[in-house]
């Protein structure tokens, strides 16, 4: 039994002053048993972050599917508080994606990753962002089935543009296969986005970015997602992708229960300025901002979930419990694993973070073990 005393425990409905008990790797109910006691001197305890959209970090990318490189990225984000990670892949050739999915499935089976996210290759050319436009292609059910098989149950999400031929059928097939369909990198009008949500899509990939913008006469995918209570919207709260006032507006419209903070981090996270690659695209990072070399398209971020969480509180102005919900419980809910992770409730995995006074991550616990 480990007991964290004198803590400010952040729960979805507020902050509770007192203690948190951990036993056998899980959050435990109150008990008179006392063994290993740690006095937190009033520090916050929050659930470990759940990042459902991240491409890499510490100079490593998930795109190769190589175990050593992927482990380095996952360990970097774990040290920064992400206790549950979904590895995201950008658009690649059929062979490249097949190799990456097969390799990452091994790490998911080992518990290093919580699954795999395909961001592409079925995206709109007009909204391709940092994806290689020459590799974009229409939805291919046969290719998707091969990737599902190679994922061995660990392919968890696929982002696609619903206006492409065959996209709505693929949304239905994904739902039947237990893979979350996400609407993103799209030029779809609102009616098409709504049709995708009716077909089973349940996530909007990095809302506002790489999609038809909101307009008062055509709300597009943004209005469709914000107005649909079935849909969880991703937000990159890095101060680059979405301005803080717009982040606040999205929370007002959807609530913390439907906003999932993500990093969309690429290999440069934790590395500083320099030249990198995202998939097959050259990326330059200057002053922490990642863009395609020679262009202005944003190419992922360089933040951690700890950065996104702290910015949500200090710059967006969210109450700490709402920021914690958006960084942990809501993304866990998107994945359907919220019965196990995402909040500090008895019976859930003891994945938690202790914060310093400035809300920086001081200690990380995963499965009841300090990391």
Supply the pLDDT for residue 36.
Answer: 84
Bridge pairing between strands 2-11 and 14-23: antiparallel
Q: How confident is the model at residue 34 (pLDDT cuts 50, 70, 90)?
A: low
d(CA 1, CA 3): 6
Of 162-166, 291-295, 310-314, 348-352, give the lowest mean pLDDT range: 291-295
Is it the case that residue 198 has pLDDT exceeding 90?
yes
Residue 303: pLDDT over 90: yes
Annotated binding site: which residue ranges?
119, 130, 185, 206, 209-210, 217, 241, 298-300
Backbone angles phi, psi at 38, to 5 degrees: -125, 115
Tens digits of residue pLDDT in 8-30: 999 999 999 999 999 999 999 88
**What was the pLDDT predicted at 35?**
72
Q: CB-based contacts of 12: which residues, under 8 Å, 6+ apart?
A: 321, 324, 325, 329, 343
Q: Per-residue pLDDT tens for 257-266?
A: 999 999 999 9
pLDDT digit string (tens) for 304-349?
Answer: 999 999 999 999 999 999 999 999 999 999 999 999 999 999 999 9
- Tell me what the mean pLDDT of segment 340-369 comes to: 97
- Beta strand residue intervals within 78-169, DSSP E: 82-89, 115-119, 155-160
DSSP state of 349: B
Residue extents of the structural domains in the chain? 2-45+354-370, 49-341
Residues identified as active-site: 264
Question: Strand 36-39 and strand 2-11: pairing?
Answer: parallel
- Under CATH, domain 49-341 is a member of which superfamily? Metal-dependent hydrolases (3.20.20.140)
Q: Are 62 and 85 in contact (CB under 8 A)?
A: no
Strand 180-183, strand 155-160: pairing: parallel
Residue 358, classified by CB atoms within 10 Å of its CB into exposed (0-12), middle (13-18) or buried (19+), is exposed
pTM of the entire structure? 0.97
Phi first, then psi: give them for residue 13, nearest 5 degrees.
-100, 10
Three-class SS of residue 10? Answer: strand
Percentage of residues in the chain having pLDDT higher than 90: 96
Annotated binding site for substrate: 130, 209-210, 217, 241, 298-300
31 band by pLDDT with thresholds 50, 70 and 90 = confident
The answer, yes or no, to whether residue 33 has pLDDT greater than 80, is no
pLDDT at 30: 81
Domain 2-45+354-370 CATH (choose: 3.40.1350, 2.30.40, 2.60.40, 1.10.3470): 2.30.40
Q: How sure is the predictor about 127, in pLDDT bands with cuts at 50, 70 and 90? A: very high
């Amino acid at each position: 039994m480990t007991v964290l005393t004198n803590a400010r425990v952040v729960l979805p409905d507020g902050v509770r002053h007192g203690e948190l008990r951990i036993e056998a790797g899980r959050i435990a109910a109150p008990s008179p048993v006392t063994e290993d006691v740690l006095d937190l001197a009033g520090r916050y305890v929050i659930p470990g972050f759940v990042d459902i959209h991240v491409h890499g970090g510490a100079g490593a990318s998930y795109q190769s599917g190589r175990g050593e490189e992927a482990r380095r990225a996952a360990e970097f984000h774990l040290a920064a508080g992400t206790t549950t990670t979904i590895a995201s892949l950008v658009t690649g050739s059929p062979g490249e994606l097949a190799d990456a999915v097969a390799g990452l499935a091994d790490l998911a089976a080992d518990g290093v990753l919580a699954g795999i996210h395909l961001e592409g290759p079925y995206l709109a050319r007009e909204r391709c962002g940092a994806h290689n436009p020459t590799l974009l292609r229409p939805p291919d059910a046969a290719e998707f089935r091969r990737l599902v098989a190679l994922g061995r149950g660990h392919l968890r999400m696929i982002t696609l543009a619903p206006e492409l031929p065959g996209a709505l059928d693929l949304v239905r097939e994904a739902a039947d296969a237990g893979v979350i369909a996400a609407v993103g990198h799209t030029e779809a009008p609102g009616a098409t986005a709504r049709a995708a949500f009716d077909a089973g899509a349940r996530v909007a990939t990095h809302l506002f970015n790489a999609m038809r913008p909101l307009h008062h006469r055509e709300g597009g995918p943004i209005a469709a997602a914000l107005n649909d209570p079935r849909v969880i919207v991703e937000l990159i709260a890095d101060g680059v992708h979405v301005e803080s006032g717009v982040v606040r507006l999205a929370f007002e419209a959807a609530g913390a229960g439907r906003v999932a903070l993500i990093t969309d981090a690429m290999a440069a996270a934790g590395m500083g300025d320099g030249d990198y690659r995202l998939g097959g695209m050259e990326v330059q990072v200057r002053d922490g901002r990642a863009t395609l070399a020679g262009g202005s398209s944003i190419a992922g971020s360089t933040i951690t979930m700890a950065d996104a969480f702290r910015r949500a509180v200090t710059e967006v102005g969210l109450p700490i419990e709402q920021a914690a919900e958006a960084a942990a419980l809501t993304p866990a809910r998107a994945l359907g694993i919220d019965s196990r992770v995402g909040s500090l409730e008895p019976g859930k995995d003891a994945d938690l973070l202790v914060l310093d006074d400035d809300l920086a991550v001081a200690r990380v616990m995963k499965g009841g073990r300090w990391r």
